[in-house]
Amino acid sequence: MPAYPTPLCTTARMRFLHTSDWHLGNRLMEHSRHEEFEAFLNWLLGVMQSRRVDVLLVSGDIFDNTTPSDSTQALYCDFLSKADTTGCRHIILTAGNHDGCTQLEKARPLLTRHHVSLSTRLSREEPQACRIPIPDDSGAECATVYAVPFLRIPDVALPVAADAAREERDTAYIRGIAQFYAALAQDACKTRQKHCGPIIAMGHLAVQGATLTGSTRSCIGTLDTVGASVFGDAFDYVALGHIHRPCCPATGTDRIRYSGSPLPMGMDEAGYPHEVLLIDIDGQDVRITPIPVPRFVNFESCTCSTPDELHALPAQLKARALEHAQQDGLEEARPIWLHLSYSGTDMSLHALNSFLEAIAAETGIDHFRARLTEHHPTSPAGESSSLTQLTPEDIFLRRLAEVDGNPPRSEEERRHLSKLFSHVLSELSALSSPQS
Ligand SMILES: [Mn+2]
């Protein structure tokens, strides 16, 4: 690893704010989270202003998908236009694996006018293209940010033979990423000889040693994990994105860091605090201060096994929401995301769903959102009830039994209806299969 070069002079302190993985437009249990994102972005503007942030770094996954809705894009544009008034001098955005590069690029001319830099795609021939000089008031470069987006296989993987095995391709990709950062580290050493300001690298990738959560685990596997040594020690700070839980993947340093996502992206991410990071750099002194992101909704995971437990739930939820609101000095209780598992055998899925809908009215909490996401009834006589093990005909017959009238249908009627259902299914599959 190259030795850390001594800076030529000392410079005024600079303050960065590191965040990533906003996933604007993300939906939870099929519901929009627009108000949560709006509340977060407003809170962030307040932090940028009150903490006098010089540069905001967003390390990828700004949007949840490549085609964000009009209202989601409006939220993003509104934030960027208001950021101008906070005193923040520069914003640097990089594309994550969830972002659409073409979609982000559309706004580039406007972004430039608002002191926003954007880095979407790079090639291994030109790693230095991501070098962003931050000018001081006189226009001189006072800090440098290497804004590396999510590096895609076609952009950085080393060449392999057409018939190369999967492992060989994976290795060529990881080595391509490592070489890319090695080239930037070299460039950073040259930069350090020219000016004494902070030098930062951004990245959207999985670094070995990071804590994976459900939503990241499912999209990355182990393919794009590199060692923290790829960053060398050329950078004062490495602002990482891609992993949703705040963590420091490298041993022995906290300057290579994931800020994590500011909001939980699933119920499995609700159990730990979310934060953004203030990075103060003054010469070789780097101070990192995590700022917890407030919760804008309550995440509740409940398991019930009897109707009595189920009926006690609304009052418990309401009491808890009011208690949390009181603790945090809020006038009103926050909306609730409820994840309910019911293991009893005495309620149909339909009845349980109706019950959940009734909770909203009972609790009197605005924007109450409830969704049944797990249901594990144990069927009589050890009959299999996992959705993956049932045929469409099984499900049809069960549903039929649930909505059965009084008196119930005869066995012959059921058989006839089941036959009709199978016939419709086969007609439909014939219609949807390809012509040739
Ligand atoms: Mn992400």
Helix 392-402 and helix 411-432, axial crossing angle in degrees, nearest 10: 140
What's the pLDDT score for residue 339? 77
Q: What is the C-alpha to C-alpha distance for residues 282 and 287, in angstroms, rounded to an integer?
A: 8
User: Which run of H or E residues covers position 212?
Assistant: none
* Weakest mean pLDDT among 30-34, 240-244, 258-262, 403-407: 403-407
pLDDT at 335: 82
Give the confidence band of 431 by pLDDT, cuts at 50, 70, 90.
low
What was the pLDDT predicted at 11? 55
Q: What is the pLDDT of residue 143?
A: 95
Closest CA to 117 of 88, 97, 158, 85: 88
How far is 142 from 198, CA to CA, in rounded Å? 7
Options 2.60.40.10, 3.60.21.10, 3.40.50.720, 3.40.190.10; CATH for 14-292 is: 3.60.21.10
pLDDT at 113: 85
**CA 98 to ligand 1 centroid distance, Å:** 7
**What is the structure's pLDDT at 370?**
52
On average, the pLDDT of the chain sits at 84
The percent of residues above 70 in pLDDT, for the chain, comes to 83
How far apart, in whole angstroms, are the C-alpha atoms of residue 270 and residue 275?
12
Reported in sequence order, the residue ranges of 205-252 that DSSP labels E, i.e. its strands, are: 206-207, 225-226, 237-241
> Model confidence at 151, in pLDDT bands (50, 70, 90)?
very high
133-147, 157-171, 416-430: which range is least confident on average?
Answer: 416-430
Rounded to whole angstroms, the Cα distance separating 105 from 149 reads 13
Rounded to the nearest angstrom, the distance between the alpha carbon of 35 and the centre of ligand 1 is 20
**Angle made by CA atoms 172, 174, 180, in degrees to the nearest 5:** 100
Q: Is the peptide bond before 290 cis (omega within 30 degrees of 0)?
A: no
pLDDT at 387: 54
Length of the chain: 436
Ligand 1: centre distance to CA 154 (Å): 20
Distance (Å) from CA 244 to ligand 1 centroid = 6
Residue bearing the bigger pLDDT, 190 or 303: 190
d(C-alpha 78, C-alpha 24), whole Å: 13
- How many A from CA of 203 to the centre of ligand 1? 12
What SS3 state is found at 408? Answer: coil
For residue 17 the two structure tokens come to 């704010």
Q: How many CB atoms sit inside 10 A of residue 257's CB?
A: 24
CA of 62 to the centre of ligand 1 (A): 8
- The pLDDT score that the predictor gives to residue 377 is 45
E-assigned strand segments in 128-255:
131-135, 141-147, 199-204, 206-207, 225-226, 237-241
Query: Is the pLDDT at 343 greater than 60, yes or no?
Result: yes
Ligand 1 centroid, distance to 66 Cα (angstroms)? 13
The domain spans of the chain are: 14-292, 298-432
User: 168 CA distance to ligand 1 centroid (A)?
Assistant: 26
> Quick one: pLDDT at residue 353?
72
Long-range contacts of 188-194 (CB under 8 A, 24+ apart): 188/144, 188/146, 188/234, 188/235, 189/2, 189/5, 189/234, 191/131, 191/144, 192/5, 192/7, 192/8, 192/234, 193/5, 193/8, 194/141
- E runs forming strands in 312-419: 336-342, 369-375
For residues 273-292, average pLDDT: 96
> 236 pLDDT band (50/70/90 cuts)?
very high
User: What's the 239 CA to ligand 1 centre distance in angstroms?
Assistant: 14
Among 101-105, 111-115, 378-382, 405-409, which is the least confidently predicted range?
378-382
Average of per-residue pLDDT across 164-186? 93
- Distance of alpha carbon 317 from alpha carbon 337, whole angstroms: 11
Give the pLDDT of residue 5.
43
Provide the token pair at 1: 């690893």
Let me know: does 341 contact 395? Beta carbons within 8 Å: no
* Whether the predicted pLDDT of 221 surpasses 50: no
Secondary structure of residue 347 in the 3-state scheme: coil
Please tell me the distance between residue 26's alpha carbon and the centre of ligand 1 in angstroms.
Answer: 10
For ligand 1, the distance from its centroid to the CA atom of residue 344, given in whole angstroms, is 36
Least confident of 79-83, 182-186, 237-241, 384-388: 384-388
Residue 114 near residue 80, CB atoms below 8 Å = yes
- Angle between helix 349-363 and helix 307-327 axes, rounded to 10 deg: 30
**Averaged pLDDT, 107-130:** 92
- Name the residue with higher pLDDT: 341 or 115: 115
CA 72, 74, 75, 81 torsion-angle sign: positive
> Residue 405 pLDDT > 80, yes or no?
no
Contact 277, 13 (CB under 8 A): no
How many whole angstroms from 224 Cα to the centroid of ligand 1?
14
Q: What pLDDT sits at residue 361?
A: 66
How far separated are the first and last CA of the chain, in Å rounded? 59
Neighbours of 268 (CB within 10 A): 15
CA–CA separation, 152 vs 37, rounded Å?
Answer: 28
What are 186-214's pLDDT values in tens digits?
999 999 998 889 999 999 999 987 765 54
Between these two residues, 139 and 293, which has the higher pLDDT value?
A: 293
Q: Ligand 1 mean position to 216 CA, how many Å?
A: 6
If you measure from the C-alpha of residue 265 to the centroid of ligand 1, how many angstroms do you get, rounded to a whole number?
A: 9
Report how far ligand 1's centroid is from the alpha carbon of 260 (Å).
8
Looking at 211-215, 272-276, 292-296, 373-377, which range is the least confident one? Answer: 373-377
Q: What is the pLDDT of residue 396?
A: 78
Share of the chain above pLDDT 90, in %: 50
Asked whether 401 and 392 are in contact (CB, 8 A), the reply is: no
Residue 269 has pLDDT above 50, yes or no: yes
Q: Looking at the predicted structure, is the pLDDT value of residue 435 above 60?
A: no
How far does residue 24's CA lie from ligand 1's centre (Å)?
10
Among residues 46, 66, 50, 58, the alpha carbon closest in space to that of 17 is found at 58
- Give the pLDDT mean for 109-135: 92
